Amino acid sequence: MRTRRGARIVLLDQDDRILMIRHRYNGVIVVPGSPVQEFFWVPPGGGLAEDEDFLQAACRELLEETGVTEVEWGPCLWTLDADVRWGGEPVHMHERYFLARARGTQAVTRAYLEPEEQQGIVDHRWWSLAELVASTETLRPVGLSELLADVLAAEGRPSGEPRALRT
């Protein structure tokens, strides 16, 4: 089974809202045992290029998916290891989620999306913790509102090793 390494960004604004990207389910990724929804929300991010480390990929993916460049990077908050079906093939997915704070007000844009991302990424939105808690939308990672509450309680300075997430 091949491994797909990825980096995601828990991007917070000055009001402690998290930026989420709305994806259209395109049948590429299937988590066994999880219901398939037409759309789901996830923090920006994606796979590592061959010559990248996780943080380099996070920087590139943040630019590609949002156009946001002025951020203060924090630690790796979470890791996720999951066996999924990717394009019909079994794949082990290993992701790291990095904390970042947006500096000032920056417009989010779709201008840097890769051509294949234009179809799958349909929206973006800043979410408050209260909105995450109240939402009936499919949010990833699982338990995002509780995870974000822990980050905010630590004032964005979590200590220790990254927390291992479940699918």
17-34: per-residue pLDDT in tens? 999 999 887 655 555 556
The pTM score is: 0.90
Instruction: Indicate if the pLDDT at residue 86 is higher than 90.
Output: no
Helices (H) then strands (E): counts for the chain: 4, 9
Could you give the CA distance from residue 118 to residue 111 in angstroms, rounded to a whole number? 9
The pLDDT > 70 percentage for the chain reads: 90
Q: What pLDDT does 113 receive?
A: 85
pLDDT band at 166 (very low <50, low <70, confident <90, very high): confident
**What average pLDDT does the chain have?**
89
Could you give the CA distance from residue 105 to residue 122 in angstroms, rounded to a whole number? 22
Q: What pLDDT does 85 receive?
A: 77
Instruction: Indicate if the pLDDT at residue 64 is higher than 90.
Output: yes
Distances 135 to 16, 42, 118 between C-alpha atoms, Å: 17, 13, 25
